[in-house]
Amino acid sequence: MRLADVSWRGHLLRVALFSVPFVVLGLYVQWLGFLSDSHALVLAKALLAVDRGRLEVIGFVYPPLPFLLATVWPSAWTLSLLSGVAAGATAWLLWYDLRRTELPLAARTVLLASVALVPGMLFLATQSFQEMLALHLLLVAWHYFLNFVRYGHTWSGFTAGLVLGLAFFASFYAIVFALAFALASPIYSRLREDGEDRSAPADLARTMVIAFPALWSLTSWAYLTWVFTGNPLRFLSDPAAPVLIPPAGAAIAGALRSALHQTLAELLQQPLFLAVAGLNLLYRRRRAVAFLSVPLILALIRSAGFVYGELFALGTYSLIALAGIPRRISLSWSVVLVAVALLQVVASARLGTQSPGMVDWQAAVTLGRANDERKQERALAERLAQAPPRSILADDRSAYQVIAHTGTARPFLLPADSEFASALDEPREHVAYVLAATRTAAPGDEIGLRFAERPPDGFLLDGTWAGWSLYRRVDAPSLLSQP
Amino acid sequence: MDERLISERQALSTVARSESRPRLGEALVQRGLLRHKDLEQALQLQRRTGDRLGRILIALGLVRRWQLYQVLAELWGHPFVDLLREPVDHHLARHFDPEDLVARRCIPVRREGGAVLVATAEPPSPALAELVRSALGPVEVKPVVTTDWDIDYAIRRVFRETLLDRATMGLYYHNPSESARTVFTRWQLGALVALGLGIAAGLHLATTLTLIALVALVNVGFMANVLFRFVVSMAGAQFEHVQAIGDEEVAALRDEELPTYTILVPVYREANVIGPLIENLRHLDYPASKLEILLLLEEDDEETIAAARAARPPETVTFVTVPNGEPKTKPKACNVGLFFAKGEYLAIYDAEDRPEPDQLKKAVIAFRKGPPELVCVQAALNYYNATENVLTQMFTLEYSYWFDYILPGLDRLRLPIPLGGTSNHFRTDLLRQLGGWDPFNVTEDADLGLRAAAKGYKVGVINSTTYEEANSRYGNWIRQRSRWIKGYMQTILVHTRNPVKLVRATGWRNLFGFVMLIGGTPLTFLCVPILWALYLAWLLARSQLGQALFPPAVLYVSLFNLLIGNGLMIYLNMLAVFKRRLYSLIPFALLNPLYWMLHSIAAYKALWQLLTRPFYWEKTLHGLSRYATPDAALVRPREPFA
């Protein structure tokens, strides 16, 4: 049975060991002044919730789990630490799986490194806590799922279900995985040799155990969102995790074609996944079906308008590849795998590197410093931190980086506050400063829409820099010109 | 020299007499009361079980009891007496403690001049004379022989009032603080009144704050209970496949190692199940001569008594008439049965029970493997009519969850185990030390389990099942459940009379488990309608008051209970199907919130009865199921996990 051969203390110790490189990298980059958008969004919300003393002021940010964990000690260091630990825990589980394959130590090391040390995965591991957490939970669920369907270990089945239910609060796609696991359980039960009950009620029972918690989590969250916002699916388009981008007038066939094209292109950059799928076809033919279904499922998800990020896809393929290597393959095949792993490093090195966040991150890592824009944002934040409470009108849909760097939400008056709407109409009556995004403001950012070009009545321009304008009320002291 | 010769001659003549005296079996054959081949069969069984030949012959139905004792009387050289016809001098008999008479199997009949006639079912011995003289002084003792049944019958007649008193008030006299005869102690009543006044004052002076506090308390309690059940049931699930006692251990048990086992079956107004009951007990895999089955019949229940006689049970079944008196409860009847129990171990079964055949043997093994302080082992309960209707399916899910996951989880976590109402197996001597059952507590089983824990005894579980009839009618279900919940309320009131003493005796861990289970259960069911009412009011009205009652922390806990709490309880109910492969029941787990509403109805009825009729035993009707045989859907638990 998986995971039962190591005590929980043993697991914790190994997680700590495997986390070290990720935590060190995350903290180093954080120290350089880089903060990913993903972490900044979560941190801004956490700071807001802590300062206002109410969780629901954040308008039910989705996914909530990273946000909730960040509220324990809201700071960029916390998110770097948490992200590194999630990555280390995932790496440990992958190493655990590689050990079971009985491949030589060198081969296992190369395989793990080829997946963990590519830029895309390192970015995911250190700068995207929610996605790393989701991947880790899915991997944990997978292990317990196998114990359940292969050995009939009921406790494992319920643990897998609960972990998948929890994973929904880290990623919407836990639903997809939960349903996939649930639908696969009858297939696994038929592969068992111990005469396990294969009747329809037994299949239904096993399916329900795996699927119920995730479905219940989805229903509960949709219900909460409906109660407080009137729209049960609002969370799918939350800025923190844009899951759903409804195709604007695109034909369904066109969407499917586009999704397939994207998925295929992605797949070609996953030689390790393809090689492991091939090995399964050779050694465990029935398991190959599961491999082949993964890209198909991703394509279907994307064609429906859901966003399955490039780096998240990289993580998904990598985890499945390493966790799916058959046991006791021949030495020659293990040599082939190592060669493919090295090819993987080259092929996936460019994945995700075109996104702005990752470009800045790579620059910080390679050059040893954050870019100028980030530095300016940090400097601005330090100034804004000195402002009186609720004196700066801002919208966290655009200003999350600034708020995160400030380290507190206290100076800001934000959309979650009840007087925000009034302040937006009559800034002079409510606030001393207005922070407006002058480059592309986030959808719904009224401040950027109204005040990007000119100050509100009764306000002067205090300063501009890299995409921001700060206005001050005529009688308010300048925040930017202070020594 | 002469005296020594005389004593030697006497010894020789005794030996000569015993050598010339025929053995019991031979004597019965000689008198045409037993066939030779039957004697051979019985002797073979005797070699296997090590039991007395007479008991074996009676158990096999080869000889009538009175015939056996008549022959024994001849062999022992004393007259036989029929105590059904021979009047017993009550005044004389009451010089003795009835417990001594039961233990020694004797009873004084009457005086004859300077001698006392003493009926005995054992070979007369100097110890018998010693017993008589210790109560009556230096008298001549004249033994007469009678059956053991006659002895017990006479004791019940002579000591009727004493028996009733001990069965009813024994625990109370022994330790009033352990008896539910007092519903509320003074300080408890005072505390309740103070609490009520405090709440009233709070509502008057600071309405919103008081309401917030009450809402918060209810929600936090509910959440704690849900999380507790989650932890316990997952602990039980982790060791789902561990079989405490394997089939090979049972098979290795030799009949000669087995002790006498007493089975108490209290029946009241259950004439319709007597026949099946006798049949079910016949299937027990245990040497018949070592089984003592006491059918406990209420004195005024003529219909059931007649049905029991008409069923013509085997000789191993003895009718014990429970004297009529209040409270008329099952624990009182069991205390009467305990009085007459002669087994080293004792089990309780209900009239409709179908225990697995090897259950007694598994209990014996459990006791032998367990620590000296193991007083009781509980078998699992389940239902043979699981699929009869929605209610029976929900009930089966509940019981499977409780006995297959919660109790083993409690056992694993070393928390106190509240006993189920039946299939409890006790060490008889320790049960007597505990004072038996509390006749004033309508869940005497839960109370006893906790009383045992409070005194440092242990309760365990065994991997054997007794199948019962699940309630298939809602009214009957509510009656039964209200009694159980009332009993839990009584139990928590009794055992929290002296909280400091309880903590010292059981420790904080046990106290926690006890409070969560026994106290948490009725409180949770009482609070569920309030929580739903608050939620619906908030949902429909969305009033400012509703929002005022749920400040942030309270709101989060409430939302957790509403969404996560209900989801968890539904999910844990799904757990119930796996050990016994009751897969077809899993969709009914989704109805768990509705099932809890039924519990709530029963809980309020229980609360009402606690205040107005605390000792009233809400009788559950049995024999309503249309299932005559065990349900095909029920299977044995899976093989041990590899």
Poorest-confidence range of A263-267, B14-18, B382-386?
Answer: B14-18
Of all residues in chain A, the one with the smallest CA distance to B237 is A155
Question: In the structure encoding, which two tokens stand for residue B301, read together?
Answer: 């229940």
Residue B15 pLDDT exceeds 80:
no
Return the DSSP state at B406.
I
Bond from prior residue into A64 cis (ω within 30 degrees of 0): no
B438: how many CB neighbours lie within 10 A of its CB?
Answer: 27
Angle at B38 between CA B35 and CA B42, to 5 degrees: 140
- What is the spatial distance between Cα B410 and Cα B418, in angstroms, rounded to a whole number? 9
What's the rounded mean pLDDT across residues B463-487?
92
Quote the mean pLDDT of chain A. Answer: 87
Chain A, window 219-248: residues with a beta carbon less than 8 angstroms from a chain B beta carbon:
220, 223-224, 227
Model confidence at B7, in pLDDT bands (50, 70, 90)? very low
Query: Residue A161: closest CA among chain B residues belongs to which residue?
Result: B571
Look at residues B298, B339, B302 and name the one whose alpha carbon lies nearest to residue B322: B298
CB B375 within 8 Å of CB B291:
no
Q: A370-374, A410-414, B425-429 — which is least confidently predicted?
A: A370-374
Nearest CA in chain A to B579: A154
Contact present, A218 and A40 (Cβ < 8 Å)? no
If you average pLDDT over each of A13-17, A248-252, A360-364, which comes out highest? A13-17
- pLDDT tens digits, A379-397: 888 889 989 999 999 998 8
> Residue B361 is inside which H or E element, if any?
helix B359-369
- The first and second tokens of residue B3, run together, are 């005296």
B-interface mutation test, from A155, A189, A193, most B Cβ less than 10 A away: A155
Q: For residue B458, what are the β-bridge partners?
A: B374
The DSSP code for A231 is: -
Nearest neighbour of B574 by CB, restricted to A55, A197, A212: A212
B438 contacts B171 by C-beta, under 8 angstroms: yes
**Nearest-angstrom CA–CA distance, B351 and B363:** 20
> What percent of chain B lies above the pLDDT cut of 90?
62
User: In the predicted model, is pLDDT for residue A413 greater than 90?
Assistant: yes
The answer to whether the CB of B261 falls within 8 A of the CB of B290 is yes
- B567 contacts A213? CB cut-off 8 A: yes
Q: pLDDT tens for residues A290-303?
A: 787 888 888 888 88
> Which CATH architecture is the domain B22-153 placed in?
2-Layer Sandwich (3.30)
pLDDT in tens, A38-47: 899 999 999 9
Closest approach of chain B CAs to the CA of A209, in angstroms? 7
Exposed/middle/buried for B18, CB within 10 Å: 0-12, 13-18, 19+? exposed
> Which ranges of A168-309 does DSSP label H, i.e. alpha helix?
174-191, 200-229, 252-268, 271-283, 285-303
Report d(CA A387, CA A413) in Å as an integer: 11
Q: Which CATH class is domain B257-351?
A: alpha beta
Chain A, chain B: beta-carbon pairs less than 8 Å apart: 69
Q: What's the mean pLDDT when you consider all of chain B?
A: 88
Q: Which segments of B159-206 does DSSP mark as H helices, in order?
A: 160-174, 186-205
Concatenating the DSSP letter of every residue in B506-573 gives: HHHHHHHHHIIIIIHHHHHHHHHHHHHHHHHHHHHH--HHHHHT--HHHHHHHHIIIIIIHHHHHHHH
pLDDT attached to residue A257: 80
A154·B240 Cβ contact <8 A = yes
Residue B122: count of CB within 10 angstroms of its CB: 16
Mean pLDDT of B269-291: 88
- Is residue B620 within 8 A of residue B429, CB to CB? The reply is no
Which of B238, B555, B563 lies closest to A220 in CB terms?
B563
Residue-wise pLDDT for B123-167, tens only, equals: 988 999 999 999 999 999 999 999 999 999 999 999 999 999 999
Residues of chain B with CATH 3.30.300.160: 22-153
Contacts of A154 in chain B (CB under 8 A): 237, 240, 575, 578-579
Q: Which chain A residue is nearest to residue B540, measuring alpha carbons?
A: A227
pLDDT of residue B637: 43
DSSP label at residue B80: B
> What is this model's ipTM?
0.88
Span(s) in chain B for CATH 3.90.550.10: 257-351
Round to whole Å and give the CA distance between B506 and B518: 15
Q: Which of B257, B263, B333, B272 is nearest to B300 (CA)?
A: B333
Q: Is B294 helix (H, G, I), strand (E, B) or coil?
A: strand
Give the one of A199, A201, A220 whose C-beta lies nearest to B567's C-beta: A220
Mutation for testing the A interface, residue in B540, B569, B578 having most A CBs under 10 Å? B578
Of A158, A204, A212, the CB nearest to B583: A204
Minimal C-alpha gap between A97 and chain B (Å): 21
Across the interface, whether the CB atoms of B571 and A223 are under 8 A apart is answered no
Q: How far is A220 from chain B (nearest CA, A)?
A: 6
Q: From the CA of A403, how many Å to the nearest CA of chain B? A: 24
Asked if the peptide bond before residue B124 counts as cis, ω within 30 degrees of 0, the response is: no
pLDDT of res. B628 = 52
Task: Read off the pLDDT of each residue in B437-460 and give the average, rounded to a whole number.
Answer: 89
Contact A161 B571 (CB under 8 A): yes
d(CA A351, CA A335): 25
Contact of A4 with chain B, judged by CB distance below 8 Å, is answered with no
pLDDT tens digits, one per residue of B220-260: 989 999 999 999 999 999 888 777 788 999 999 999 889 99
Going by pLDDT thresholds of 50, 70 and 90, the confidence category of residue A58 is: low
Closest-CA distance, B566 to chain A, in angstroms, reads 10
* Cβ-Cβ contacts under 8 Å, A151 against chain B: 641-642
DSSP category for residue B470: P
Residue of B575, B583, B586 lying closest to A199 (CB–CB) = B583
Q: How confident is the model at residue A57 (pLDDT cuts 50, 70, 90)?
A: low
